[in-house]
Amino acid sequence: MRRKRVQSSAVRSVGHDARREILEIEFTGGTVYRYDDFLQPLHQEFVQADSKRRFFRGQILDRYAVARV
């Protein structure tokens, strides 16, 4: 999956596959995680959020099935 760089102190890049409803997040430390059942509108909100870290903690963390890539 292709990820795009984002402006964030915590997140380096974000990718989304709308057909498979998968989100990938690469954190600044280099670790990549994949989140299942992640819809396009929420992906857009995440990418546009002023604070990716705050959005991640409030809207993604512990809400989706996750796997380290």
Q: What is the pLDDT of residues 33-57, one digit of tens each?
A: 999 999 999 999 999 999 999 999 9
Q: What is the pLDDT of residue 1?
A: 87
Cα distance between residue 50 and residue 67, in whole Å: 25
Mean pLDDT, rounded, for 8-31: 98
Instruction: Specify the amino acid at residue 23.
Output: L
Quote the pTM value. 0.94
- What percentage of the chain exceeds 90 in pLDDT? 99
Task: Provide the pLDDT confidence category of residue 22 given band limits of 50, 70 and 90.
Answer: very high
Pairing of strands 22-27, 11-17: antiparallel
Cα distance between residue 55 and residue 69, in whole Å: 21
